Chains A and B, each alone.
Chain A
Amino acid sequence: MLEIGQATYDEIVAHARRDHPDEACGVVAGPAGSDRPTRFVPMLNAARSPTFYEFDSQDLLALYREMDERDEEPVVIYHSHTATEAYPSRTDIALAMEPTAHYVLVSTRDPDSVEFRSYRIVDGAVTEEEVRVLAAL
């Protein structure tokens, strides 16, 4: 299960809408081992593509250094799908390299509604999980 604060949920959705039709991406960092996503970190999609995302490699290094210094880990790794459902693609599954992260997918294919779903992806296996949005985390 993913527990996430309303404010962070809203920030992720707003980021996805803002970058549509390109895929948006980022993380929500949290204290290592806590499973609490507390710090929203939107990232540049270096691919700037409607069908692919990749964190810029220097941004990635800076992010991981920063999380290391703050004793954090990437609790949520999110990205958006702009024309398809909020379900991990084969590419998403093949490239998921953080076994303890919650992989959040947002779909912006419908301008009037949003799909926000979360998954664990471990060793190529995808398991959807419940998303519980709390007033405050």
Chain B
Amino acid sequence: MSIEVRIPTILRQYTGGEKAVEGSGGTLSELIDDLESRHSGLRDRLVDDKGLRRFVNVYLNDEDVRFLGGLETSVKDGDNVTVLPAVAGG
């Protein structure tokens, strides 16, 4: 088992068009590093020098990780992670 990560349309250029990829890790940060090793460029779209990017929403089993531990949120095999860009503007 591993962790399924659902990828939004705008980021599928990094996953060969796949809408879901699999990865592993003990924290969200480790999971993202693991994905980066196979999908180069993905990490930079999710993370900046302050942590998770402000207008990228990441959900762990339906909960926004901002309310959990952000990048340090614990993850485990069998979890589902969903990435959705914020819908926002001014």
Count residues on chain B whose CB falls below 8 Å from chain A CBs.
Answer: 17
Query: A61 near B10 (CB under 8 angstroms)?
Result: no
Q: Does B87 contact A (CB under 8 A)?
A: yes
Q: Does A79 contact B (CB under 8 A)?
A: yes
CB contact under 8 A between A89 and B90, given known A57-B64, A57-B66, A64-B84:
yes
Question: How far in angstroms is the closest Cβ of chain A from B67?
Answer: 9
Cβ proximity bits A27-52 to B, threshold 8 Å, 1 near / 0 not = 10000000000000001000100011
CA distance A99 to B55 in the complex (A): 16
Residue among B57, B88, B89 having the largest count of chain A Cβ atoms under 10 Å: B89
Cβ proximity bits B54-90 to A, threshold 8 Å, 1 near / 0 not = 0101010010101000000000000000101111111
Q: Does B40 contact A (CB under 8 A)?
A: no
Nearest A residue to B87 via CB reads: A55
How many A residues are at the interface, by size bracket?
Answer: 20 to 34
* A residues less than 8 Å from B10 (CB atoms): 97-99
* B residues less than 8 Å from A91 (CB atoms): 88-90
Q: Does A1 contact B (CB under 8 A)?
A: no
Residues of B1-36 at the interface with A, using a CB-CB cut-off of 8 Å, are: 8-10
* A residues less than 8 Å from B64 (CB atoms): 57-58, 61
Query: B86 near A55 (CB under 8 angstroms)?
Result: yes
CA distance A136 to B80 in the complex (A): 40
Which residues of A come within 8 Å of B, CB atoms?
23, 25, 27, 43, 47, 51-55, 57-58, 60-61, 64, 74, 77, 79, 88-89, 91-92, 95-100
